[in-house]
Structure 1
Amino acid sequence: MSNSAGKTSDSETGSSAEHPINRREARKTATRTALITHARALTKEHGLAGFTIEDLCSEVDISRRTFFNHFASKDDAVLGMSKESPLAPHREEFLTSQAHTSLREALLNLVASSVNGTATHSFTPFEVMELVQGEPSLMNRLRQNAFDTVIEVEQLICAREGLPYPDTYAHTVALTLHHLMMTALLPPPNGDCTAGQLARSFDDPENIRERFAERLNHLARFFSSGP
């Protein structure tokens, strides 16, 4: 009876199509976050080779099948690299922005949106790099992901600008974008920036967008008039 009453209530409010989707997405996010958290904790304690995917699933209380719905490998779980590209939810907006937005501004928006969809204050880049230093396979995976990301952005630029793929201009822009984005995500540590402040900064896509824009401006200044 209670279930029936619940359905009636959802129908009356006109929200029956929204709530299940929201709850499902919330569960997916919670599961993905738990997998990343426990994968990193197990790596710190035992090393990457010291635990299995089954061990990780047991920690999170999910099935092996559910794990592979989120990540392609144990390495990807540690690095927080979901199976879906962080650029995927923002591709359509990027591609359709050509009529009213410059490529520069569109790339700024793409960076900010994709970071906003993947970053949380609990998962700072420095935490990841600490793990990578002791695990060569994680570094190799990061390199492969960087290559894949550059190709993905190059393809997006070609599609947006009506260029044939591959294209030297689009590839150069994509490669430069990747390096600038890495420096925006990993600003040089200094005495004025504590770990907590950096974590909160990483959680703010607008902050990252500003750092990224600043680097683009310096690059444009260099090529237009020199230092």
Structure 2
Amino acid sequence: MTGASPAGGGLRERKRSATKLAIITAARILTAERGFSGYTVEELCEEVGISRRTFFNYFPAKEDAVLGSPVDELPADLAEEFIARGAGSDPGRISSTLLSDFVDFAAEMMERMVMSRDQMVQLKLAVAAEPRLLERVLHGSQEAENTFAAILSAREGLPPADPRIQAALALFTALGQRAGPAFFEPGNTRPYRSILTEAVNAMHEVFTSASPLSVSSSKDPS
């Protein structure tokens, strides 16, 4: 995971990760301000302070820089802390603090976001206007899910394919899809943590109001 390299190659890897993230951030800001076709790779390189050759050492094309990668953008320290908080839970069971730790994890991720709310809204519009970027976004979403599934697996000590890991992944994805647009809504003044916590509590109330279901249908005569 980015930034998690052990001492020895750690400093070099951190510098490489910082440069890569700087390229991603600059590409997104330029796309938000000018549209995807409104700037060249050379202008992007000038913005970051790198050569064209350096750019292509990191990304094969401009769209790759705009979309980035979940692995590149996930702070290693946050991922490691999230995993560590699950230590000591009963083996084979989901940790009792998973929901609250997820809120902390997601809120801290949002607080570290470099782009402003307005820039994120403009970026979303710019990406929506580019069919090839939209297609890549769908692929990127799957990559993001795979990345977070691996983190959940490491935290809970369960295989990524375990139904509980997959259920948690689907739940957190749905919560993010609900809280994110609400946070970036023009005129919103509520912090992301507040919006996400409200969504988590609503979900929790829905699930805790029902008893566990039987595997067999209630209409099954057997």
Q: TM-score, normalised by structure 2?
A: 0.68
Percent identity over the alignment is 27
Partner of 2:176: 181
Partner of 1:130: 125
How far apart in 2 are the matches of 1:124 and 1:84? 20
Q: Tell me if structure 1 keeps the 8 A contact 2:176–2:196.
A: yes
| Gap regions ≥5 residues in structure 1 | 1-20, 202-206
Larger CA deviation: 98-107 vs 88-97: 98-107
Q: CA deviation at 1:40?
A: 3.6
Residue 56 (structure 1) aligned to one of 44, 58, 67: 44
How far apart in 1 are the matches of 2:149 and 2:124? 26
1:116-136 CA-partner distances (Å, limit 9, x unpaired) = 233432654321221122101
Partner of 1:95: 83
Q: Tell me if structure 1 keeps the 8 A contact 2:29–2:119.
A: no
Q: CA deviation at 1:33?
A: 4.1
Residue 111 (structure 2) aligned to one of 109, 116, 128: 116
Q: Tell me if structure 1 keeps the 8 A contact 2:27–2:65.
A: yes
How far apart in 1 are the matches of 2:29 and 2:202? 36
Q: 1:119 to 1:176 in 2, by over 3 A?
A: farther
Partner of 1:172: 167
Residues 205-224 of structure 1 mapped to structure 2, 5 A cutoff: 207-224=191-208
1:141 aligns to 2:133 (yes or no): no
| Gap regions ≥5 residues in structure 2 | 1-11, 90-95, 211-222
Residue 55 (structure 2) aligned to one of 49, 52, 67: 67
* Pairs aligned (count): 189
Q: 1:123 to 1:78 in 2, by over 3 A?
A: farther
CA RMSD of aligned residues (A): 3.5
Q: 1:73 to 1:169 in 2, by over 3 A?
A: farther
